[in-house]
């Protein structure tokens, strides 16, 4: 069993890694976790090098490592071909090499599992299923012309039903291959010929009767009162506005809810000039503070903020019209 990874060089983010003395050695079961791009997959690639037991690929030619085993032996890049470790690695590289879900052919390499002697019956069932699959494939290979003929026959039902519905009755009736089949099933095959109408005059008469009895409802024109142009123009004006600098309140600038709460409170206290204390904290409402808030909420920046909020509300209103 692997005891520790003594060192790694030139492998991804591991430029010159050395096992810290405070890092505990590996145990029977180990969990390695960390942020994205912190080196977890790269570390798994080291284990994959040990698992492959083959010459290092070109991208790993410069890699140097030393892995210490419990028996004291060290495996390095120079002797890794002779290691006796039984390692299986399932990482993103394995998925990329074996499970080609995004390829044009969607090929998947075989993945073998040792199900053990006690599950030999499962292996036998799998073999029987594979045998049945092979027999079906062989039957399809020998009888594909009949399968193709049946599929073509089914396609005729679909195409002819669509033609009857769209061309003869201008979609005023609902008619699909299911309707077509039920009608044919209700007709005696011996009298089928008598149900086929070839006269164009007769067809036109049937079509006219059907359209007269089931006319399509007229769809009224719907005009949405959209104001995209004015919204775009107002947005451009807001974006191009640059209010002059003035004294700000940092707390109110950083918190929109506090900004609106304070603005509303100021408007309330303007209606009651005799009230001298804040109803929330009990502090004195000084004339200086009142004067500052009056200036603050009436400067150019405040007016622009009000204008932007109004624009956002207008956008929400337009969006609700489109959704409805």
Q: Is the pLDDT reported for residue 61 higher than 80?
A: yes
Give the list of residues 6+ apart from residue 263 with CB closer than 8 angstroms, or none: 297
Average pLDDT score over the chain? 80
Calculate Rg over the CA atoms of the chain.
39
Specify the higher pLDDT residue, 86 or 200.
86
Give the list of residues 6+ apart from residue 235 with CB closer than 8 angstroms, or none: 311
Q: Is the pLDDT reported for residue 119 higher than 70?
A: no
Least reliable range by pLDDT among 36-45, 101-110, 236-245: 101-110
Return d(Cα 201, Cα 248) in angstroms, integer: 86
Return d(Cα 1, Cα 69) in angstroms, integer: 6
Least reliable range by pLDDT among 147-156, 198-207, 221-230, 310-319: 221-230
The token pair at 128 is: 């029987």
Q: What is the DSSP letter of 214?
A: S
Domain spans of the chain, in order of start: 2-98, 115-217, 228-323
Comparing CA positions, the residue from 158, 162, 156, 189 lying closest to residue 174 is 162
For residue 305, count other CB atoms closer than 10 A to its CB: 19
Specify the higher pLDDT residue, 3 or 103.
3
220-270 pLDDT, tens digit each: 776 666 677 788 888 887 777 765 555 667 777 778 888 888 888 888 888
Residue 74: beta bridge partners? 68
pTM for this predicted structure = 0.35
Q: Is the pLDDT reported for residue 103 higher than 60?
A: no
Q: Residue 194: how many CA atoms within 13 Å on its side-chain side?
A: 5
Return d(Cα 239, Cα 119) in angstroms, integer: 71
Report yes or no: 35 and 22 within 8 Å, Cβ to Cβ: no
Name the H helices within the chain: 40-52, 92-98, 120-163, 177-185, 200-213, 228-240, 250-254, 256-271, 287-296, 300-323
Specify the higher pLDDT residue, 152 or 243.
152
């Amino acid at each position: 069993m692997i005891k520790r990874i003594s060192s790694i060089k030139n492998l991804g983010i591991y430029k010159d890694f050395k096992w810290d003395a405070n890092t505990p050695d590996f145990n029977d079961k180990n969990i390695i976790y960390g942020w994205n791009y912190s080196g977890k997959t790269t570390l798994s690639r080291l284990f994959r090098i040990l698992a492959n037991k083959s010459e290092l690929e070109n991208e790993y030619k410069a890699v140097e490592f030393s892995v210490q085993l419990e028996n004291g032996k060290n495996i390095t890049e120079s002797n890794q071909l002779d290691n006796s470790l039984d390692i299986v690695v399932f990482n993103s590289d394995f998925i990329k090499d074996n499970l080609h879900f995004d390829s044009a052919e969607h090929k998947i390499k075989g993945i073998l599992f040792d199900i053990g002697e006690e599950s030999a019956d499962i292996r036998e069932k799998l073999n029987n299923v594979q045998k049945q699959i092979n027999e079906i494939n062989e039957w399809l290979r020998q009888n594909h012309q009949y399968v193709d003929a049946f599929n073509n026959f089914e396609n005729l039902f679909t195409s002819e039903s669509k033609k009857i519905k769209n061309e003869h009755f201008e979609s005023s009736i609902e008619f699909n291959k299911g309707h077509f089949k039920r009608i044919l099933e209700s007709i005696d095959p011996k009298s089928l010929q008598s149900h086929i109408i070839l006269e164009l005059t007769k067809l036109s008469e049937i079509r006219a009767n059907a359209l007269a009895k089931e006319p399509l409802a007229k769809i009224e024109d719907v005009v949405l009162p959209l104001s995209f142009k004015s919204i775009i123009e107002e947005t451009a004006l807001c974006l191009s506005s640059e209010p002059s600098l003035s004294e700000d309140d940092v707390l109110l600038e950083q918190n929109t809810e506090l900004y609106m709460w304070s603005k509303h409170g100021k408007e309330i206290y303007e209606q009651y000039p005799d009230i001298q204390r804040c109803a929330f904290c009990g502090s004195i409402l000084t004339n200086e503070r009142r004067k500052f808030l009056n200036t603050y909420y009436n400067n150019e920046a405040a007016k622009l903020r009000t204008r932007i909020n109004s624009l956002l509300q207008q956008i929400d209103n337009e969006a609700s019209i489109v959704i409805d």
